[in-house]
């Protein structure tokens, strides 16, 4: 693996502008240059995996195969207890394949209309993977969880997706009301990308030895846990 590969370009396997901004902010100090797959004319593949991790791997392998670059991908979604885990891996297309974020929020609130406040628990789940190439047999995997509740109505103009209806009981506001820096500090994607950034930092700092491959780390899934209290 060349020094250029270690500290060079990586493709982000997403065309979601909100996700791209978060990737750029959270990996700014990682010593790599990121390019979104959309900027290279690459469309997203069908997400046919049954889990967040498997869908992230599908997207990363597709981007790596199409570009010849190492790839980073995430798959994330909202898991609502009262809806038996829905929308889950279908979060982006909950209201239909061509649905907008607003459409998905409307469907979610309709499904939760009769659910009392005591049963509105939910969490965001993010799985991030990194591949050195499309045939990488040992990808880096990190996951993050953000525990909260589904609000009765949208609040806030920030973020994207379900952020306006995801209420954080510790902060006392929705994800849509958070500034970008605070959201990146506490969110599911922020947690996973910080683990990725630590791994990338070790990768770019390690000596480039011909034929040597760095050890890739698998971080096993952990159940959502009560997290510490933050202040804005």
Residues serving a catalytic function are 75
Question: Minimal CA–CA distance to 146: which of 161, 130, 156, 133?
Answer: 161
- Dist. CA 37–CA 14, nearest whole Å: 6
* Angle in degrees, CA 62, 68, 73, rounded to 5: 40
- Residue 131: phi and psi, rounded to 5, are -120, 140
Alpha carbon of residue 161 to chain centroid = 12
Question: Alpha-carbon torsion 197, 12, 142, 18, what sign?
Answer: positive
- Length in residues, the chain: 232
Tokens (6 digits) for 229: 């209290």
For residue 231, with 0-12 CB atoms within 10 Å meaning exposed, 13-18 middle and 19 or more buried, which class applies? exposed
CB 76 within 8 A of CB 127: yes
């Amino acid at each position: 693996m060349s020094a250029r590969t270690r500290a060079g370009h990586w493709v982000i396997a997403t065309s979601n502008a909100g996700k791209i901004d978060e990737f750029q902010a959270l990996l700014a100090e990682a010593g790599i240059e990121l390019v979104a797959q959309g900027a290279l004319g690459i469309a997203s593949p069908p997400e046919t995996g049954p889990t967040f991790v498997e869908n992230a791997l599908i997207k990363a392998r597709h981007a790596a195969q199409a570009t010849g670059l190492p790839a980073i991908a995430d798959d994330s979604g909202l898991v609502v207890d009262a809806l038996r885990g829905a929308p889950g891996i279908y979060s982006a297309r909950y209201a239909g394949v061509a649905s907008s974020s607003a459409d998905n929020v409307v469907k979610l609130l309709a499904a939760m209309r009769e659910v009392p406040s005591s049963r509105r628990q939910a969490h965001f789940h993010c799985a991030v993977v990194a591949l050195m190439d499309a045939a990488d047999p040992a990808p880096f995997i990190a996951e993050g969880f953000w525990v909260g509740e589904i609000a009765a109505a949208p609040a806030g103009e920030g973020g994207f997706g379900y952020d306006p209806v995801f209420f954080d009981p510790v902060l006392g506001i929705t994800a849509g009301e958070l500034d970008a820096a605070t959201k990146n500090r506490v969110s599911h994607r922020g947690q996973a990308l910080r683990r990725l950034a630590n791994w990338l930092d070790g990768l770019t700092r390690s000596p480039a030895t011909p034929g040597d491959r760095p050890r890739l780390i698998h971080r096993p899934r952990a159940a959502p846990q009560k997290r510490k209290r933050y202040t804005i």
